[in-house]
């Protein structure tokens, strides 16, 4: 995130003292990013459904069209 903040500052999109952006806000953003990266490895570790399980529960397109209020055109 530091790279993005540097670029936004360099291009005048983020300016200290404007729209409540300050060195403290920058520090908070960088701190939040570090916390996020510590938690990120835990995201997505659960079991993933097998594609066959998804296909078994999917409705054919024709069945969905037949159930629509306008019916099959």
Token pair 């291009």 is at which residue? 11
Contact between 47 and 19 (Cβ < 8 Å): no
- Are the C-beta atoms of 21 and 27 separated by less than 8 Å? no
Q: What is the pLDDT of residue 59?
A: 53
pLDDT at 73 over 50: no
Over the stretch 23-69, which tens digit does the pLDDT of each residue have? 999 999 988 887 766 666 555 566 655 555 555 555 555 555 565 55
Cα(60)–Cα(57) distance, rounded to whole angstroms? 10
What residues have CB less than 8 Å from 5, skipping those under 6 apart?
Answer: 14, 26, 29, 30
């Amino acid at each position: 995130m530091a790279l993005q903040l540097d670029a936004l500052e360099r291009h005048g999109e983020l300016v200290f003292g404007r729209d409540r952006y300050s060195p403290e806000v920058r520090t908070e953003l960088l701190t939040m990013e570090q916390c996020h990266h510590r938690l990120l490895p835990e995201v997505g570790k659960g079991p993933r459904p097998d594609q066959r399980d998804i296909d078994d529960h999917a409705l054919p397109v024709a069945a969905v069209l037949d159930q629509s209020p306008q019916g099959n055109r």
